[in-house]
Amino acid sequence: MSCKQVRSVVDGLRYDTQSQINYVILDVANKEDQELARELGILGFPRICTIDADGATVLERHAGPIDVATLTLIIAGAVEPNS
């Protein structure tokens, strides 16, 4: 699954969940995004990470293909970490 395909899954859920979670999409062609990816330990793409409100703590990482059901669970875990 390519980055564009993963982006399609993310965009499909973004509208319904954007009031609960902030979305940041990094473009590795951009040097600033490359630096942030490195700081967060993102080594390969496509990659989905949930990051704590502190902006530095990675709560969960998912590499490679993702479907709507899996992304929904990741988002739910980030929004309600004790559920």
Question: Please, what is the angle between helix 3-17 and helix 68-79, to 10°?
Answer: 50
Which pLDDT score is estimated for 48?
Answer: 87
Number of domains in the chain: 1
Range of the domain at 20: 3-79
What phi, psi does 27 have (nearest 5°)?
-110, 110
Q: What is the pLDDT along the chain (83 residues), one digit of tens a residue?
A: 677 888 888 888 888 888 888 888 888 888 898 898 888 888 778 888 888 888 888 888 888 889 999 999 988 888 876 65
Which pLDDT score is estimated for 70?
Answer: 92
pTM over 0.85: no
Domain containing 64 — which CATH number? Answer: 3.40.30
Which pLDDT score is estimated for 69?
Answer: 93
